Amino acid sequence: MRPPAMLRWAAVALALAAAALLAAAPAAAFYLPGVAPNDFQKKDQLLVKVNKLTSTKTQLPYSYYSLPFCKPDTIVDSAENLGEVLRGDRIENSPYVFEMREPKMCQIVCRASIDDKQAKELKEKIEDEYRVNMILDNLPLVVPIARQDRDAIVYQGGYHVGVKGQYAGSKDEKFFIHNHLTFLVKYHKDETTELSRIVGFEVKPFSINHQFEGQWNDKNTRLITCDPHASKLVTNSDTPQEVESGKEIIFTYDVGFEESDVKWASRWDTYLLMTDDQIHWFSIVNSLMIVLFLSGMVAMIMLRTLYRDISRYNQLETEEEAQEETGWKLVHGDVFRPPVNSDLLCVCVGTGVQFFGMLLVTMIFAVLGFLSPSNRGGLMTAMLLTWVLMGLFAGYASSRFYKMFKGSEWKSITLRTAFLFPGIAFGIFFILNALIWGEKSSGAVPFTTMFALVLLWFGISVPLVFVGSYLGFKQPAIEAPVKTNKIPRQVPEQAWYMNPAFTVLIGGILPFGAVFIELFFILTSIWLHQFYYIFGFLFLVFIILIITCAEITIVLCYFQLCSEDYNWWWRSYLTSGSSAIYLFLYAGFYFFTKLQITKLVSGILYFGYMLLASFAFCVLTGTIGFCACFWFTRLIYSSVKID
């Protein structure tokens, strides 16, 4: 089928996927972050929303109202996209309501009496260092923390539910809840219109055992410990609020407003620089330059050697001279012989093409600014959507190779391409989700969302794989540049350093070396709940990864053919694909050195998701190496005269 027809199929697939995604999960109106600011007049209402409770120690999010915090009259869930649901975000309204540029002091939110169960839950969340996340005008809440060593302020996302401590003169540890919040809203004012835009949302949490005079009269009660009329404000936690069953907790807050020179377009800079102490730009660039230099050296050596080989072979004039030659030319009659388990190889390559397309398109959109951190869940939603659409190319690639290997049952290979990797991924995801569900965490994906994922898979991805496979199978089979002998040639005994296991493990080191520093920041953003934003640099690393995988696979394949071993198909796939082994080992190293996870379920979740990520990385890098090696072998065997 001509390319325009392919484009028409892709357009139809895009429309179907977009429609299904909109039907699967409600989403807010689209806007490009950085282009649609909200302007507020003085005394306009500012609605604070609450998000999930998070902890880096457990990796299990919980909804804000799972703890005995003050609730509004009616709890309303905010519209969420599919990515937000999968991330465990649970965005709801809160009883905190501000008025623009109208400071408030000692505002009573509610008084709550906690029972045994609630006290236990609070203590557990404080023990596990859970943080409360809030949102105002799409800005996450941060806690400013002064760093003594740098004489600067860093920002922590969300405030801790409470702290553990001791009374003076006592050795018993007690749990104290942060029940007084001092908010600071920073705004940038337009001098001509007097309209303001929110550019910062900060809080300082305190634990204070509030006392009041007379009878409790809801929010009109006058507090002794916090009284704006008597100029008595909360500035410390000298008399903290202890968490004990049967005790009453009074929740209060202050809110102040501060004009800022920061413009609305730059308001996210504070959040993106929260990890500036961990970003070692020189180390990253230096590592990438080393990888580029090594790859260039390897490529130059390979090309010079190969050019000399081809020139020498083409200058041979007699049959006797040709018979005396050894090396890669001698296996020309077997080098394109179909490998063992060729069907599985076709499926793996097709899935790898799907991954490659997904990452390429997603990163291009991220570099262009469509997937900034302010668009919560946008990155995951985009990845899911592009994965579904790339099923077209997965089916096309797998069927093309399948037909080259003389396969005739194209429907069979299509079904395996459509179900093998997604089936494994969905199985692992389902098991891990069941564990999260057992912990009663809000991170558990609801049944309706699971159904939406299955709908995307069966309703869109599978049909697109069939369309791509049909189009690919209609194309003429890829012809080998040389004929294949009927009887396989015996492979001579190989040197120890050409052992498949050895070369495969060696081949994965260089691709992993190209990404391992960037991998640190990616793992940090996922497991330590920090923002990842250097997509331009990530795209550069991705390009370097492609080059590295291709070059190392071609070089090792060339050495293998020179040793008269023509079984290169699977080895070329596994050579660069073995980098996933190092990725998983690095994930284990990161777990024990950077994370503080102690719970068994949390550990299973971590290694389960990292196993899935490593599997996907193997499929991606293996496909890149295989395609490069396939191009290389066709090139060299079509460049020599074969009698």
3-state secondary structure string across 245-272: CCCEEEEEEEEEEEECCCCHHHCCHHHH
Please report, rounded to a whole number, the percentage of residues in the chain having pLDDT higher than 90.
Answer: 35
Query: What count of other Cβ atoms lies within 10 Å of the Cβ of residue 493?
Result: 7
Residue 379 tokens, joined: 């990155």
More confident residue, 105 or 299: 105
pLDDT of residue 435: 92
pLDDT in tens, 557-590: 888 888 888 888 999 999 999 999 999 999 999 9
Look up tokens 């219109």; give the residue: 193
Over range 110-115, report the average pLDDT: 87
* Contact (Cβ atoms closer than 8 angstroms) between residue 202 and residue 186: yes
Helix, strand, coil percentages in the chain from 3-state DSSP, rounded to 5: 50, 15, 35
Out of 27-36, 45-54, 381-390, pick the least confident. 27-36
pTM beyond 0.75: yes
pLDDT > 50? residue 6: no
Q: For 25-81, where are the alpha helices, taking DSSP H only?
A: none
Report the percentage of the chain scoring pLDDT > 70. 86
Q: Place 22 in a pLDDT band, splitting at 50, 70 and 90.
A: very low
CB 538 within 8 A of CB 363: yes
pLDDT in tens, 132-184: 999 998 899 999 887 766 567 778 889 999 998 887 777 788 899 999 999 99
**Tokens of residue 162, six digits:** 């409470």
Place of tokens 């009329």: 229
From the centroid of its chain, how far is CA 239?
43
Instruction: Please list, in sequence order, all residues whose beta carbon lies within 8 angstroms of the beta carbon of residue 531, skipping any fewer than 6 positions away.
Output: 271, 272, 274, 275, 373, 525
- Geometric angle at alpha carbon 176, from 602 and 172, rounded to 5°: 95
- Residue 203's pLDDT band, with cuts at 50, 70 and 90, is very high
Looking up tokens 């260092």, which residue turns up?
Answer: 129
Facing residues of 176 across strands?
A: 163, 242
pLDDT of residue 372: 74
DSSP string, 404-448: HTT---HHHHHHHHHHHHHHHHHHHHHHHHHHHHHTT-TTSPPHH
Contact predicate 144/195, CB 8 Å: no
